[in-house]
Structure 1
């Protein structure tokens, strides 16, 4: 973990683009609440093709203009170099200076993978097209990508993204901090030393958490799963237990030298803010040990 202690800490919150006018209004409220703690940036998830992509663009530009840097997720799957280049130009023209570059998942009904197949190819293309205009975030998987054939292959894939020009990384969420520590130690042995910021998922709804985790390969430790199951429909007990578990994990991560936290908000303010307040994050927390 020594390599991570050299980096200035940064804190960020992730949104998904709303589908309805009511969702847009809610996101504005959530954005305002989270802006009060002065995060380094927001990010907005991306869907390849059609209206989903357009919602991301609209959401990113609207949020960015309100005064806090907002980073779009950009997926290469299903897209052409020309389409991606035009999107990069649009973001640059609107002052966006950070992008989360991902391979992404193939949308249902889309037959071709696109001209760029992997995230490292997307990072290389962005550098070729836009130079150093954007700070490029990439994904990291402490518990390894669910489609990786081996752990070693997954680490090499991450290193390729860094070699292609990634500045920093955000991890998939996890609930076992040792997986993050081990991942960082493996990267250090490979000579890969960019900031790798832990992704944090507040625990609010057990059934939703289980569904998300099964989809993305994030492990819910047995002791956490069993306790959440025991609470049944008692949503307040689930909220309190989840807040305690995630706060304790975040404390361990920051104490060990993690260079910040990235909260998956699911367009809700209070779960992330409760953890934030428990941690007492302020300006002092942005200085590395």
Structure 2
């Protein structure tokens, strides 16, 4: 089912994100994770796409498995390091498997200082425009409530986001954030900029201290004092940090649902037990809101 149709039918969507294995030997464990998440009644599950398309084959396989399981899949697709021919091959594979939803992403710039992009795509909006010519896909995009790290200015970032939406995005999913006020401010500014598509809130449960360092390399998210105090107090105790991280994410989601966000998208990090605990904490809230 196309995600834009699901958004039309639901007051609130709940979805999860998983990543494919870097090695084929771990494929079964990721499928087991997908199976566990499928039992939690998500509206869809998104599957990431490795840098340069390194895990693209497994992305398609996992999406196909979810489809056969009766769960709507959302296939990530990045373009900066890829030629159009490579992207078109992946798109044809998705089409052959009956997968209708693609999250169109530029992708991170490789750390290799000698990297030169193929030149076929510069921005995610280029990929969105190209995908619109390749079939009847529902296309989603990413957004940064606190501005893309490379944009330099929030107004410029919003203008670029509007270009991406106008190219054909039906919905947007945010990068992680830890202060809900950052999202509410972003939603107001996006509305003022003429962005009318549904925006889903991306939530990252932080369950160990080392995870935070990696996340900060990928995001410029503001860390509120309450969150920093939590990490400082429990970051060296894995069990305590896991409980505290679950509690913090749960509190974030309750506030977001109370204030009428269109969707909750949880970055599962292939840890279905964490998602199960969060969803269990707020099961009645989610049932009422959806």
TM-score by length of 1: 0.90
- Where do 1:98-137 residues align within 5 Å? 98-109=101-112, 110-130=115-135, 133-137=136-140
Once residues 17 and 254 of structure 1 are traced to their aligned partners in structure 2, the CA distance between those partners, rounded to angstroms, is 29
Partner residue, 2:272: 269
Residue 35 (1) aligns with residue 33 (2): no
CA RMSD of aligned residues (A): 2.1
Structure 1 residues 65 and 237 mapped into 2: Cα distance closer, same or farther (>3 Å)? same
Unaligned runs of 5+ in 1: none
What does the per-residue CA deviation read over 1:228-282, in whole Å, with 9 as the maximum and x for residues that have no partner? 1222422222122212211111111111110121111111101122111112255
Aligned partner of 1:244 among 243, 247, 254: 247
What does the per-residue CA deviation read over 1:141-195, in whole Å, with 9 as the maximum and x for residues that have no partner? 1111111110101111111111111000110011100010000101111221111
Unaligned runs of 5+ in 2: 1-6
Once residues 137 and 104 of structure 2 are traced to their aligned partners in structure 1, the CA distance between those partners, rounded to angstroms, is 10
Q: Secondary structure at the match of 2:253?
A: helix
Once residues 276 and 239 of structure 1 are traced to their aligned partners in structure 2, the CA distance between those partners, rounded to angstroms, is 15
Once residues 52 and 18 of structure 2 are traced to their aligned partners in structure 1, the CA distance between those partners, rounded to angstroms, is 19
Once residues 10 and 184 of structure 2 are traced to their aligned partners in structure 1, the CA distance between those partners, rounded to angstroms, is 16
TM-score by length of 2: 0.90
Structure 1 residues 199 and 50 mapped into 2: Cα distance closer, same or farther (>3 Å)? closer
Q: Do the aligned partners of 2:16 and 2:268 also contact (CA within 8 Å) in 1?
A: yes
Q: Do the aligned partners of 2:45 and 2:72 also contact (CA within 8 Å) in 1?
A: yes
The list of structure 1 runs, each at least 4 consecutive aligned residues, that deviate by more than 4 angstroms after superposition, is: 4-7
Which one scores higher on RCO, CA 8 angstroms, separation ≥ 6? 1
Q: How many pairs does the alignment contain?
A: 281
Residue 213 (1) aligns with residue 212 (2): no
Once residues 251 and 14 of structure 2 are traced to their aligned partners in structure 1, the CA distance between those partners, rounded to angstroms, is 17
Q: Do the aligned partners of 2:205 and 2:248 also contact (CA within 8 Å) in 1?
A: no
Q: CA deviation at 1:6?
A: 10
